[in-house]
Amino acid sequence: MVHDKRVKDVVSGWLTVFDDGSVDRTWTGPPEVKFMAEPVPPHDDFIDGVAVKDVVAGENSGSRFRIYLPERNDSSVDKLPVILHFHGGGFCISQADWYMYYAVYTRLARVANAIIVSVFLPLAPEHRLPAACDAGFAGLLWLRDVSRKQGHEPWLNEYADFNRVFLIGDSSGGNIVHQVAARAGEEDLSPMRLAGAIPIHPGFMRSQRSKSELEQEQTPFLTLDMVDKFMELALPIGSTKDHPISCPMGDAAPAVEELKLPPYLYCVAEKDLIKDTEMEFYESLKNGKKDVELLINNGVGHSFYLNKIAVDMDPVTGSATEKLFEAIAEFINKH
């Protein structure tokens, strides 16, 4: 007898969960935004000043990366900083080759004049945490191997300045930034240097609803439904949102003051649903005497810069996105 699987839940148009535990990531929300979740093929030629290729690190690791290389002035001899990127999606959805990331990170490659290496992350619930954090850390160790000539990637070998490696992550990718940065503090990365970390609207939260969760407007990029259900699908079975990956300021997490962390550019949106708990972790960094700069984008919500329609059509979102990119470029240039 064939069992017809039934829909158990649909998470804000992004994810359908079936009663047998399987998932379908076909977008079921408004069709006009579907293009942002479509893959963009790589291109070795420079389009709008950036070339893009996908690589696999080693035959056995299975780690995949998308690399963005900005076009260089022929007379330039300077090597370029490297930004290791972790995409968002609540650990459950999205891919490094989606258009929403392509649009943002080709632009950042140009603005910051940096090579961006984006990690294809394993997704929950098939791969629950800490799988995505482990993949992020493996990406950093791959860069270390290349810097030691133990791995080969032509664009990195030729153009990368391994003395200036940064971490950046969107939303849940910001959680990965912090986890990888903390682990890196216990690792010999030489001759590579981790120069900074940039969590953008990290998915930091607690089991108890915050004031901002109750009061801020929900957007397609973050709803309370997503906050609750993605975490339920992503965290280790039996865990709550007070888990150290989602609540690094909580009692279950290592004390921030005891962590060896690089300088942080910590990015928050004024209208983010989870702004209060994001700011709680910022205060933990400050109280732990860590080197941290705070950027607050006013008038915008969670992951606003990934919404290509709003970036192009809404002056407030467009201006906030420009400010965000300028701050990131400035942070990279001074470290």
193-208 burial, b if ≥16 CB within 10 A, otherwise e?
Answer: ebbbbbbbbbbbbbee
Give yes or no: 171 in active site: yes
Q: Is 63 left (phi over 0), alpha (psi -120 to 50) or beta?
A: beta
Task: Identify the active-site residue in 85, 97, 243, 272.
Answer: 272
Q: What is the pLDDT of residues 152-187, one digit of tens each?
A: 899 999 999 999 999 999 999 999 999 999 999 999
Predicted local confidence at residue 151, as pLDDT: 85
Cβ neighbourhood burial of 184 (10 Å; 0-12, 13-18, 19+): buried
Model-level pTM? 0.97
Dihedral sign (CA 40, 44, 49, 55): positive
Task: Identify the active-site residue in 210, 276, 302, 303.
Answer: 302
The share of the chain scoring above pLDDT 90, in percent, equals 88
Task: Identify the active-site residue in 171, 172, 210, 284.
Answer: 171
Q: Which amino acid type is present at position 32? A: E
Give yes or no: 161 in active site: no
As a whole number, the mean pLDDT across the chain is 95
Task: Check whether 275 has a pLDDT greater than 90.
Answer: yes
Q: What is the pLDDT of residues 213-272, one digit of tens each?
A: 999 999 889 999 999 999 999 999 999 999 999 999 999 999 999 999 999 999 999 999
Q: How confident is the model at residue 3 (pLDDT cuts 50, 70, 90)?
A: low
Rounded Cα gap, residues 277 and 270, in angstroms: 12
Give yes or no: 302 in active site: yes
> Prior bond to 39 cis, omega within 30?
no
Q: How confident is the model at residue 30 (pLDDT cuts 50, 70, 90)?
A: confident
Rounded Cα gap, residues 310 and 330, in angstroms: 24
Predicted local confidence at residue 72, as pLDDT: 86
Q: What is the pLDDT of residues 51-88, one digit of tens each?
A: 999 999 876 667 999 999 999 876 666 899 999 999 99
